């Protein structure tokens, strides 16, 4: 236990000597990692949205009159990702007013008879199968059914293209992460080599002599890693879900954490740190 404690204290020694510069590097590395998590999360959401658009549609169902029961129609439409909204004639008029105010004014001027010209509607969105639509069309309560894709082909191609660009951005961010770790290694190099030479002269093995240098890199990178995770949680909680534009990039206004990317990045940082720390002999200056 005392051996591990001594190695840990020696790992902190190079950090204490350049604490301000190392602190800035750790914070900047955390921002790079945060950008990587965001790119990974958005890439995943784009793929989900693209898949959702491929199999989903908007369905507008016009009912014959205000008195018909809608429960049989809703039962056919029910699904895990299907949203259903029922609009009475007055609500349809409210939505139509923004697009065709003159028509709405004409209908309202007629009175109750004009309101009867506006159909009661059910709006559904989601992965609704063709069989369900055909069944709804045959119902006596329904006068008309219209269906359209959630996203047209050009927008779906945009999702695909944007996903490709996000993957390029992720590759560049991974490169920046490696550069940042290399910079940290160079800044801590002189102090780490001094510690390694002293340990070697006291009879420590080459591995033990180089462990403090690896420990310094490990503490910095994992500290930045932890900070980036906290920033991710804060961003997703207080920015993503509350932002009307960003939230619309995802189907359910939620941004899943890219766990696989997280583990891969942690492994790459660990391997790179070990390769840099153990690449030189303790005697090298």
Domain spans in the chain, listed from the N-terminal domain onward: 2-52+154-277, 57-149
> In terms of DSSP bridges, do strands 83-87 and 121-126 run parallel, antiparallel, or are they unpaired?
antiparallel
* Global confidence as pTM: 0.68
The pLDDT of residue 172: 93
Residue 33's pLDDT is what?
93
- Low-confidence residues of the chain, pLDDT below 70? 1-11, 13, 79-80, 89-119, 191, 193-209, 241-253, 280-285
pLDDT at 200: 65
Fold observed for domain 57-149: Alpha-Beta Plaits (3.30.70)
Into which CATH architecture does domain 2-52+154-277 fall? Up-down Bundle (1.20)
Distance CA 30, CA 24 (A): 10
Query: What is the predicted pLDDT for the residue at 23?
Result: 84
DSSP track, 65-100: STTS--HHHHHHH--TT-EEEEE-HHHHHHHHHTT-
């Amino acid at each position: 236990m005392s051996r591990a404690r001594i190695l840990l204290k020696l790992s902190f020694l190079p950090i204490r000597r350049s604490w301000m510069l190392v602190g800035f590097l750790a914070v900047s590395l955390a921002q790079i990692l945060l950008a990587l998590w965001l790119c990974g999360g958005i890439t995943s959401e784009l793929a989900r949205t693209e898949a959702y658009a491929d199999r989903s549609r908007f369905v507008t169902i016009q009912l014959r009159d205000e008195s018909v029961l809608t429960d049989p129609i809703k039962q056919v439409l029910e699904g895990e990702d299907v949203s259903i909204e029922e609009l009475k004639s007055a609500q349809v008029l409210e939505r139509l007013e923004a697009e065709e105010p003159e028509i709405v004014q004409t209908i309202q001027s007629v009175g109750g008879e004009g309101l009867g010209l506006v159909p009661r509607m059910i709006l559904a969105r989601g992965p609704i199968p063709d069989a369900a639509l055909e069944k709804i069309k045959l119902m006596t309560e329904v006068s008309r059914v219209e269906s359209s894709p959630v996203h047209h082909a050009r927008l779906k191609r945009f999702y695909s293209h944007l996903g490709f660009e996000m993957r390029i951005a992720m590759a560049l961010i991974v490169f920046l992460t490696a550069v940042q770790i290399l910079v940290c290694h160079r800044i801590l190099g002189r102090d780490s080599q001094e510690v390694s030479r002293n340990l070697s002269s006291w009879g420590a093995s080459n591995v033990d002599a180089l462990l403090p240098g690896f420990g310094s890199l490990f503490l910095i990178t994992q500290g930045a890693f932890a900070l980036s995770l906290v920033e991710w949680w804060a961003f997703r909680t207080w920015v993503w879900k509350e932002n009307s534009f960003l939230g619309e990039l995802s189907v359910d206004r939620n941004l899943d954490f890219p766990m696989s990317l997280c583990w891969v990045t942690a492994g790459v940082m660990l391997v790179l740190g070990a390769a840099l720390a153990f690449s030189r002999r303790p005697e090298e200056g």
